[in-house]
């Protein structure tokens, strides 16, 4: 049987992943799976740096602006839909492209997730109620008490997760609902995939990366990000809108900051986000790393060697 290959392009925001993905899709005559937790939302076009109309027309893309911020959409949903789409695409071509900066979504497709038991709805309601009353500190303390090892792991490797209410609520509800540590369910299941991943990483010197991020934010503002965010003010509490580029401008519209300060905050928070992306992706195994200025032909040649 012919082997299937999924070329996956990773790297921090504004590094040039879209441009490379289109070049590779044209070379291999295949489609592109977008692996971005925000570009899938049709109401968030400018602030998520959705590929331009010209770029979208240059290759067939999937999972771009195909959902609404009002949809209840999870990484697990994306995993199922992306794998189903890949099964369909591999029938036409045994090489396909996946690109995106959302590490969790990349991992979902390449490796899958562990199995967790169903949790009683009463447990979920109680945790939500306690969170509303006591805040994120309650969730942090509860996880520390119920799964000290996992709490320590997050604190060391991914501390921003401790500030994420959705993730923290999930950790705590599994601990309480099963009577076992959340970490006890990790690594139990081996997910089978019908493709061989070829992972391409793009990187740049930090100063260059930061300059590219700052330029991208300026471009977004010129393209109308302020208006896009203004239209979303009635829905600002939705989970999808707790996103860099949106939160800061909501503060501006509420009179908490000046516009100039909000733009600087977007740049700073995007740079911080990029640092977290790098930390995540550097833990990924078997990545072929390239400087973002590397000639695309050189990257194509490396992929050809991996396939042949």
Residue 191 reports pLDDT greater than 80: no
Q: 288 and 158, same structural domain?
A: no
Tell me what the mean pLDDT of segment 70-80 comes to: 90
Residue 171 reports pLDDT greater than 70: yes
Q: 168 and 130, same structural domain?
A: yes
Comparing 191 with 145, which gets the higher pLDDT? Answer: 145
Q: According to the model, what pLDDT value does residue 189 have?
A: 64
Q: According to the model, what pLDDT value does residue 16 have?
A: 96
Residue 166 reports pLDDT greater than 90: no
Q: According to the model, what pLDDT value does residue 72 have?
A: 86
13 appears as a binding residue in the annotation: yes
12 appears as a binding residue in the annotation: yes
The mean pLDDT of the chain is: 94
18 appears as a binding residue in the annotation: yes
Mark which of 185, 208, 236 sits at the end of a domain: 185
Answer left, alpha or beta for residue 245, where phi above 0 means left and psi between -120 and 50 means alpha.
left
Domain around 158: 121-185
Q: 222 and 140, same structural domain?
A: no
Tell me what the mean pLDDT of segment 165-181 comes to: 92
Q: 35 and 180, same structural domain?
A: no
181 appears as a binding residue in the annotation: no
Tell me what the mean pLDDT of segment 185-192 comes to: 75
Q: 87 and 199, same structural domain?
A: yes
Comparing C-alpha atoms, which of 263, 278, 272 is closest to residue 217? 263
234 appears as a binding residue in the annotation: no
Q: 44 and 175, same structural domain?
A: no
Cα-trace Rg, the chain: 20
Q: 301 and 269, same structural domain?
A: yes
Residue 308 reports pLDDT greater than 80: no
* Structural domains counted in the chain: 2
The per-residue pLDDT for range 208-265, each reduced to its tens digit, is: 999 999 999 999 999 999 999 999 999 999 989 999 999 999 999 999 999 999 999 9
Mark which of 134, 151, 185 sits at the end of a domain: 185
The per-residue pLDDT for range 6-54, each reduced to its tens digit, is: 999 999 999 999 999 999 999 999 999 999 999 999 999 999 999 999 9
Residue 272 reports pLDDT greater than 80: yes
Q: How confident is the model at residue 190 (pLDDT cuts 50, 70, 90)?
A: low
204 appears as a binding residue in the annotation: no
- pLDDT cut 90: percent of the chain above it: 84
By the 10 Å C-beta count (0-12 exposed, 13-18 middle, 19+ buried), 10 is classed as buried
Mark which of 137, 162, 185 sits at the end of a domain: 185
Q: 167 and 82, same structural domain?
A: no
CATH number of the domain within which 150 lies: 1.10.20
Q: What angle do CA 79, 82, 86 make, to 5 degrees?
A: 135
Q: How confident is the model at residue 159 (pLDDT cuts 50, 70, 90)?
A: confident
* pTM (two decimals): 0.81
| Cβ contact 245:225 at 8 Å | yes
CATH number of the domain within which 26 lies: 3.40.50.300
Q: 134 and 169, same structural domain?
A: yes
Q: 107 and 64, same structural domain?
A: yes
Q: According to the model, what pLDDT value does residue 118 have?
A: 82
Q: 200 and 70, same structural domain?
A: yes
Q: 162 and 69, same structural domain?
A: no
Q: According to the model, what pLDDT value does residue 117 have?
A: 80
| Cβ contact 131:169 at 8 Å | yes
Mapping DSSP onto H, E and C, the string for the chain reads: CCCCEEEEEECCCCCCHHHHHHHHHHHHCCCEEECCCCCCECCCCCCCCCCCHHHHHHCCEECCCCECCCCCCCHHHHHHHHHHHHHHHHCCCCEEEEECCCHHHHHHHHCCCCCCCCCCHHHHHHHHHHHHHHCHHHHHHHHHHHCHHHHHHHHHHCHHHHHCHHHHHHHHHHHHHHCCCHHHHCCCCCCCCCCEEEEEEEECCHHHHHHHHHHHHHHHHHHCHHHHHHHCHHHCCCHHHCCCCCHHHHHHHCCCCCHHHHHHHHHHHHHHHHHHHHHHHHCCCCEEEEECCCCHHHHHHHHHHHHC
């Amino acid at each position: 049987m012919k082997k299937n290959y999924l070329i996956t392009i990773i790297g921090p925001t504004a590094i040039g992943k879209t441009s490379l993905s289109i070049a590779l899709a044209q070379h291999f005559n295949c489609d592109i799976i977008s692996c971005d937790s925000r570009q899938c939302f049709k109401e968030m076009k400018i602030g998520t740096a959705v590929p331009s109309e010209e770029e979208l027309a240059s290759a067939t893309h999937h999972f771009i602006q195909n959902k609404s911020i009002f949809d209840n959409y999870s990484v697990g949903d994306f995993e199922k839909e992306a794998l189903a789409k890949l099964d369909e695409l591999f029938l036409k071509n045994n090489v396909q492209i996946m690109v995106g900066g959302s590490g969790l979504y990349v991992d979902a497709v390449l490796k899958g997730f562990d199995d967790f038991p169903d949790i009683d709805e009463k447990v979920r309601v109680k945790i939500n109620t306690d969170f509303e009353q006591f805040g994120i500190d309650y969730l942090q303390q509860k996880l520390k008490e119920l799964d000290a090892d996992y709490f320590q792991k997050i604190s060391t490797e991914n501390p921003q997760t401790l500030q994420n209410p959705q993730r923290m609520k999930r950790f705590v509800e599994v601990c309480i609902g099963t009577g076992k540590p959340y970490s006890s369910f990790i690594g139990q299941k081996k997910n089978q995939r019908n493709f061989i991943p070829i992972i391409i990483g793009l990187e740049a010197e930090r100063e260059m990366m930061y300059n590219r991020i700052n330029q991208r934010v300026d471009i977004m503002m010129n393209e109308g990000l302020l208006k896009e965010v203004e239209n979303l003010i009635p829905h600002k509490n939705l989970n999808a809108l707790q996103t860099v580029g949106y939160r800061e401008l909501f503060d501006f519209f509420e009179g908490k900051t000046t516009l100039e300060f909000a733009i600087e905050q977007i740049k700073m928070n995007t740079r911080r986000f990029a640092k977290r992306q790098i930390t995540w992706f550097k833990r990924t195994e078997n990545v072929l790393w390239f400087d973002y200025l590397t000639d695309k032909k050189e990257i194509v040649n490396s992929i050809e060697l991996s396939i042949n």
